[in-house]
A and B are shown apart, each in its own frame.
Chain A
Amino acid sequence: MSKVSALIETEALKKYYPITGGILRRRVGEVRAVDGVSLNIPKKKCFGLVGESGCGKTTFAKTMIRLLKPNSGHIYFDVPEDIKEEIAKLEQSKNSPKLKKLRAQYDLATFRGKKLKSMRRKMQIVYQDPTRSLNPRMLVKDIVGEPLIVQKLAKGTERRKKTLEILGKVGLTEKHMYRYPHEFSGGQRQRIAIARALVTNPEFVVLDEPTSSVDVSVRSQLLNLFQDLRKELGLTYLFISHDLSIVECIADQVAVMYLGKIVELAETTELYKNPLHPYSLALFSSIPIPDPAVKRKRIELKGEVPSPVNPPTGCRFHPRCSEVMELCRKEEPELIDMGNGHFVACHLFHK
C-alpha cells in the first residue's frame, strides 16, 4: 500500500453475524459479512467502494466507524506509521500486555466509552434514504443541532449560529430550521442529513449511497455539493455506491468488493479503463451506456450472488467465473500488487 498519509486504515477487518438456532439459541453458523478487509484511505481524497447488494460494503463502512463492533482486525484513525508497525510486530511476538496497552490507545477497534464517543466527532455518516435517517418527530434545527449538544461543542446562541452556518453551506436557510423533515423534498432532506453529518467538523465522512434515493436532477446537485464541501472543508470521503458511473466521476480511488472481500483496487481511471478481475470485468460491462450508438460487449454472469453464510471455498467468485482454474476452488487469492497502485485478488495474475 502506498505510504501517502492515510487518514483511516483497516487491517484484516472482520465482521460476522452469528446465526442462532435451536431451543437454546446456540450459534449454528455465521454470516461473514466482512471477511478480512484491509483498506487504506488517504487524507482529503474520495475513496469509492463498489459492489452489489450483499457484498458487505455498508457493513464494512459501519464497522469502520464503529457503528458496529468488529470481530477482529485493526482500525487506525490518523495513527502514525511507526505505531502501526509496532503493533504488527507485537502481534507477531504475541506480547500481550504491551500490545493491549497500545491497542487500547490507538486501535479504534478496541475503543470504548468516552474515548469512542470523542472519536465520533471526527467520523460521520450520511445514509442512503433521508426519509428514514431523519427523526420524523424532530425539527430540523434539533436534528442538525443535536450533535453539538451530544458532543458538548456549543450551547445556546453559539449552537444556533453554528446550525445556521452549516445549513447555509448545504443551501438551506433559517426558515427551514423550524420545520419537520416530511415537509421537504427528497433532495432537501438529504441536505439536512449532510448538514447533520458536518456540523461537528468531522474529518472523515462515509457516504452510503447518498444519491440512490433521489431524482436524477437532484443527484447532480448533491454530487456537486459533495465535491464543493470536500474542497472547502478538507474532508475525506468513503463513497459507497452500486452506481458505477457516478463513482467514476467522483472518486479518486475505487475498490471492488465481492462477498465480504476486496477483489480489486486501483485509481479510478486505471480501474475503469483496465479492470482485471473477472468479476470487475462483468460488473463494468453490465453498466448500460446512455448512447444507443455504442454497442459494448457484455459479460452476463450466470447465477445469483451466493449467500455470505456459506461462501464458496477458495476464491469466492469461482462458481461464477468464466476463467476458473483448479487452484481457484482450493485457495483464496491474496491481493497482488500489479504496479501503479493497482491490486487484484485473482490467481490468474499470480506471477
Chain B
Amino acid sequence: MSKNLLTIEDVILRFYTYEGIVEALDKLNLKIKDGETLGVVGETGCGKTVTGLSTLVLVPPPGKIEGGHILFDKKGKTVDLLSQDEAFLRDIRGEDISMVFQDPRSALNPVYTVREQISEVFLHHRRREFIEQVLKCPLTGFERKIYEKMLENPESFTLKVISKIPIINRYKRKLKDEISSEVIRVLKEMQIPDPERVVDMYPHELSGGMAQRVVIAIALACNPKLLIADEPTTNLDVTIQLQILNLIRELKRKFGSTIEYITHDLGVVAEMCDRVAVMYAGNIVEIADVMELFKNPLHPYTKALLESIPRPGKEFKSIEGTVPSLINPPKGCRFHERCPYAMEICTKEKPVLKEITKKHSIQCHLY
C-alpha cells in the first residue's frame, strides 16, 4: 500500500482580474501516490497548469490561493506547503519538487549557458556537499580558509565583500569546476550527445529536443521526489517527442521519481501514465487507473473526450458548446450546460468526488 506523496485538499484558487474574479480551482482534491505517474488531462483553461503551479506555490498574481491544504511528504514528515514561508518553499523547489515547462525556449534564460543554468540548481541546493568536496582537493591556504568559512558561516559579511573583489574571487573557480563535472554527468544521463560541447552553448543554439532535455536536466539535477511535467512535449516534433518520452520513462525507472504529467494529448497519457485524472473547468471530474479509464469511462465529459479522438473513416465528434467562462461559472456541476445527461440536480448542486471502485472515482450526479 503505497502512501500518498502529495495530497491536494479542497484548494480554492482565484484570479482577481479587470473583468472579474476567475474561479480557477474550485475545491480541488487530488492525491498522488509515491512512485506513480499520474496524468492530468484536460483542455486549455481547465486549470491543469495552475494546479501544477499551486503545488509549487508559484501562482503569479493576480492569482491567490484561498483555502485548502497541499500536504507533501518530505522525508517522512508531512508539511502543508500553503502555510510555509518563502525560504522553506525555496528549499523545496528544485530539491523535492521540480517542474518541467511546456516551452523549453522560454524556460531557459537566453543569456546564460547551459552550464551556468544547471549549476545554479546545484549552487542553491547542494552547496554544502560541493564545498566539502572542494575541501578534499589540494588548495592554497587562503582558499582553504575561505571555503571553511563558507561552510561555517555562509552569511558572513566578509565573505560577501571578498566574493565581489575581482582577482581575489578567483577562488570561486574551484567550486565551479567541481560543479561542472557534476553538470556534465547529468547531461550524460539525459542522453545528450557530446555533453562537453553542449555545456557551453546558449539556449538559442540548441534545438527544441535538446533544450527540453536541458530543462529536464535542471529539474532532475537534485533528484526530486516529485516531478511536475507541464506538457513537456507539446511543442516538439513527434519523433523528438518519442525520444523525450522514452527518456522520461528511463529516468523514472532509474531514479524512482513520482511524476505528475499534465497534458491534453490522450495518446501520451495512454503511453506514460499509471493513473489519470480528468479535469474540467477547475474541477477533477474523474480519476481512474489508465486501463480502466480508457476501457470504461464514466463521466460524460471523459466519454466525450475519448469520442472526439479522430478516427479514420468516421465523422469527427466534437463536444457541444464551449468551455464556460470561469468568471461566472455555471451553478452546480460546471459541465451541466454541455452534458447530454444533465438532470435537474446538476444545475443546482455540485457533485462530490465519489469512489466507485478502488481504481475509479468520479464526480457526477449520475452515480
A contacts, CB < 8 Å to B: 52-53, 185-187, 215-221, 223-224, 227, 242, 244-246, 248-250, 268-269, 272, 282-283, 286-293, 298, 300-301, 303-305
Contact = CB atoms under 8 A, between A and B. Distances in A.
Contact of A300 (B246, B295, B317): B246
A186 B44 CA distance: 10
A57 B202 CA distance: 28
Contact of A220 (B239, B291, B310): B310
A-B CB proximity, top 9 nearest: A288-B267, A220-B318, A52-B237, A286-B242, A290-B266, A220-B316, A292-B270, A217-B319, A249-B310
B318 A290 contact: no
A289 B271 CA distance: 7
Contacts of B267: 245, 287-290
Contacts of B239: 52, 282-283, 286, 300-301
24 contacts: A52-B237, A186-B44, A187-B322, A216-B308, A217-B43, A219-B308, A219-B316, A223-B310, A242-B238, A246-B310, A248-B310, A249-B312, A250-B310, A268-B312, A286-B242, A288-B241, A288-B265, A288-B270, A289-B271, A291-B294, A292-B270, A292-B294, A303-B193, A304-B207
Given A217-B318, A293-B295, A304-B209, 10 more contacts: A215-B264, A216-B308, A224-B318, A272-B312, A286-B239, A288-B241, A292-B291, A292-B294, A293-B291, A304-B210
Nearest to B43: A215
Contacts of A244: 238
Contacts of B294: 290-293
Contacts of B316: 219-221, 223-224, 227, 249
Contacts of B238: 52, 242, 244, 283, 286-287
A127 to B, nearest CB: 17
Nearest to B237: A52
B311 interface: yes
B248 interface: no
Interface residues of B, number: 45
B269 interface: yes
B135 interface: no
A301 B266 CA distance: 22
B301 to A, nearest CB: 10
Contact of B241 (A223, A227, A268, A286): A286
Given A249-B316, A287-B238, A288-B271, A220 B308 contact: yes
Contacts of A283: 238-239
Given A220-B316, A286-B238, A185 B310 contact: no
B267 to A, nearest CB: 3
B191 to A, nearest CB: 10
A217 B237 contact: no
A99 to B, nearest CB: 41
Contacts of B53: none
A216 B264 contact: yes
Contacts of A215: 43-44, 264, 323
A221 B207 CA distance: 33
Contacts of B322: 185, 187, 218
Interface in B225-247: 237-243, 245-246
Interface string B208-235: 1110000000000000000000000000
B133 to A, nearest CB: 34
A289 B308 contact: no
Contacts of B264: 215-216
B233 to A, nearest CB: 9
A187 B319 CA distance: 13
A251 to B, nearest CB: 10
B312 A220 contact: no
Contacts of B314: 249
B315 interface: yes
Contacts of B237: 52-53, 242, 305
A289 B270 contact: yes
A269 B310 CA distance: 15
Contacts of A227: 316
A249 B306 contact: no
Nearest to B270: A292
B65 interface: no
B309 interface: yes
Interface in B322-361: 322-323
